[in-house]
Amino acid sequence: MSANPYETGLDMTAANYQPLSPLSFLPKAAFTYPDYTSVIDGEARHTWAGTYARCRRLASALAQRGIGKGDTVAVMAPNVTAAFEATFGVPMLGAVLNALNYRLSAGEIAFILDHGEAKVLITDTEFSPTIEAALKQVKNPPIVIDIEDPAGPGGTSLGELNYEAFLATGDPEFEWNLPGDEWEAISLNYTSGTTGNPKGVVYAHRGTYLNAMGNAIAWGLHDHPVYLWTLPMFHCNGWCFPWTITALAGTHVCLRRVEAKPIYDAIADHGVSHMCGAPVVMQAIAGAGEGERREFSQTVKMFTAAAPPPAAVLAEMARQGFDVTHVYGLTEVYGPCVVSAWKGEWDELPLDEQSRLKARQGVAYQVQEGLIVANPDTLEPVAMDGESMGEVFMRGNITMKGYLKNPQATEEAFAGGWFHSGDLGVWHPDGYIELKDRSKDIIISGGENISSIEVEDVLYKHAAVAAVAVVAKPDEKWGETPVAFIELKADGEATAEELIAFCRDNLAHYKCPREVVFAELPKTSTGKIQKFVLRDQARGAAE
């Protein structure tokens, strides 16, 4: 017997192996389609050749400030040109992009800047009040670069240079390299998770490359889509769409404000073909007033996630010219990795039945290897009967590298070789999964995760509070909102308004309870608060 001949003389070389990285898409777009429109942002237009030069300028300017491999660059911005350019310009150096949720409070931002060790912060002046306060709290203040957007509301400049002046210091022909290893980090995205402090989810070049492809394949994208940025780029790097749309040399249409009028204007004026967003975006579109709507001839395809789209909204979206696909994911899986793949034969079903099918989260992306609903302790898959509850688990190449500087949380999240989503659901006989309950400690409001524990931690700091439980209350507009059930101390005194104001001083506003209920909290015999009772109560109150 000879040895395996396929293992001899057939090694990886520079000719036949290159690390996977979504950065490779940008020079290709610039090379083949140099004068195609890459970015539309208010009155500004960029071409692919121009965008590539600007991203190289950004990398070069950062390199001149000493930024290099493994350094973190944070961005606090709405969906503007700079936020998009950072998805290429930062990792071109081997540096790591940390896009910040601009709805967070100064304290939360300060925590993230410290934990992520950001060396540079590129920040839109709209958020200067928050950032100014945050910078006073951080241990090692980063270099600050201001985005002074003429379309923005103005605001104080905090840094040494503005973004355009900073770019001007960079070389448009800067020589950069793909990562030496496709497992290197490309970005850092903080998630509320279920514990008090946010966790830093680290993405790899390999995973973002594959999910950029995965989006295109799952959606059947053609060359040159016109993509409207209704989904925040700070959410899982815009679900990897900065890289998907660039791979296809499409057009990124920026959008500062996710409101009905600018959405309709962009669709009508720029021929938008695709967009993503939480149900709250659909509601803005479906509920638009007369002066906000515009006529357009194309069908706009939309990916939505975070909550099943309600039947009435889906019907109205279809009437308005939108073709909605329901996807599901989490920050830990690069954004969507599950799609409610639509079967042609379902077109014939009654609308309610269609809506019921579309509300299911669906099946795994082609690029995600595994998706199961299973017993959280044994990882034994549940019966595919549409009734047996289990936790949703994923595995494969579009699962995060892990949580930054948190090996214990990483180990727990990956116990047994699967990512534990914390979401609970069933598995239907046709293989589609459907969430039946979010992880008990997560509230999703307007597409944003809120950790009930984080809110509880704040309320426990109030002198009058004896016990607290925060749960989700169904909400027509936001999907869910947090409601706080509170037991005051015997000698404690506080009004609902005072407690909400206390939260707003310590948390992003969207995380704060909309409602406070004073009551004795139901507890188990061992003293554990029975949140399910409170959830039922909140749900009942909303109906």
Residues in touch with a second copy (CB under 8 A): 2, 4-18, 20, 24-25, 28, 31-33, 69-70, 96, 117, 183-185, 202, 207, 213, 216-217, 220-224, 247-248, 341, 343-344, 363-364, 366, 369-370, 394-397, 399-402, 404-407, 410, 413-414, 417-419, 431
The three-state (H, E, C) secondary structure of 322-342, written as one string: EEEEEEEEEHHHCEEEEECCC
Minimum CB distance to a second copy, residue 208 (Å): 13
For a second copy, the closer of residues 184 and 391 by Cβ is 184
For a second copy, the closer of residues 396 and 513 by Cβ is 396
Minimum CB distance to a second copy, residue 384 (Å): 10
Torsion of CA 371, 281, 273, 210, to 10 degrees: -30
Which residues are within 8 A (CB) of 498 and not within 5 positions of it... i.e. 6 or more apart?
A: none
d(CA 508, CA 104): 4
Which residues are within 8 A (CB) of 390 and not within 5 positions of it... i.e. 6 or more apart?
A: 372, 373, 374, 375, 376, 381, 382, 424, 425, 426, 427
Minimum CB distance to a second copy, residue 358 (Å): 15
β-strand pairing of 419-427 with 390-395: antiparallel
The letter for the amino acid at 175 is E
For a second copy, the closer of residues 185 and 284 by Cβ is 185
For a second copy, the closer of residues 48 and 264 by Cβ is 48
Q: What are the phi and psi torsion angles at 162 (to 5°)?
A: -90, 170
Minimum CB distance to a second copy, residue 369 (Å): 4
For a second copy, the closer of residues 24 and 47 by Cβ is 24
3-class secondary-structure state, position 531: helix
Minimum CB distance to a second copy, residue 518 (Å): 43
For a second copy, the closer of residues 6 and 490 by Cβ is 6
d(CA 39, CA 45): 6
For a second copy, the closer of residues 296 and 414 by Cβ is 414
Minimum CB distance to a second copy, residue 221 (Å): 7
d(CA 274, CA 310): 20
The closest of 54, 60, 51, 57 to 29, measured between CA atoms, is 51
3-class secondary-structure state, position 510: helix
> What count of other Cβ atoms lies within 10 Å of the Cβ of residue 178?
17
d(CA 312, CA 287): 11
Minimum CB distance to a second copy, residue 74 (Å): 14
For a second copy, the closer of residues 266 and 404 by Cβ is 404
Minimum CB distance to a second copy, residue 92 (Å): 15
d(CA 345, CA 352): 15
Minimum CB distance to a second copy, residue 431 (Å): 5
d(CA 459, CA 454): 9
For a second copy, the closer of residues 16 and 525 by Cβ is 16
3-class secondary-structure state, position 500: helix
